[in-house]
Amino acid sequence: MDLFTDVELNAEQAKAMGRAMLAVARADGSADAREVALIEELAPVDTSAPDPAPAELAAAFPDAPARELVLKSALLVALVDGTFSDAEKAVVASFADAFAVSPDRLESLASGVKAFLMAPLLPLSNTSAVVEVSRKLKV
């Protein structure tokens, strides 16, 4: 499954995306170690930098493909620990609003990220474990 298409980002955009992902990780009180590890693997991030304002992100990412990449990356961080908290949902939704991405489109992006996370589990023979992970991700 090809969730992350090639989108050219400059250095400042990559840093902004890292800060956006970190904002999602911090949303429910503290960043889970799995979330931080994922962020550091995907984008440069200064963990002492402040969370970006949604309007700041909208200015940094003027085109739709880059905006959707930021949202998918933020959703991936939110889902990697198995819990998509209300606080994380609110942060992602605020970014989507600033990007003029509809709630339906955001839900579609979230479904794609969940399917991406589930794809490696589908060939497993332990179907009860796959079903349990599926329920946890609400796929």
pLDDT digits (tens, 9 = 90+) for 23-68: 999 998 878 777 788 888 888 788 888 999 999 999 999 999 999 9
> Would the pLDDT of 79 be above 60?
yes
Residue 29: which residues within 8 A CB-CB, separation 6 or more? 87
pLDDT of residue 29: 84
Give the span between the Cα atoms of 22 and 15, in whole angstroms: 10
> Would the pLDDT of 101 be above 90?
yes
Percent of the chain as helix, strand, coil, to the nearest 5: 65, 0, 35
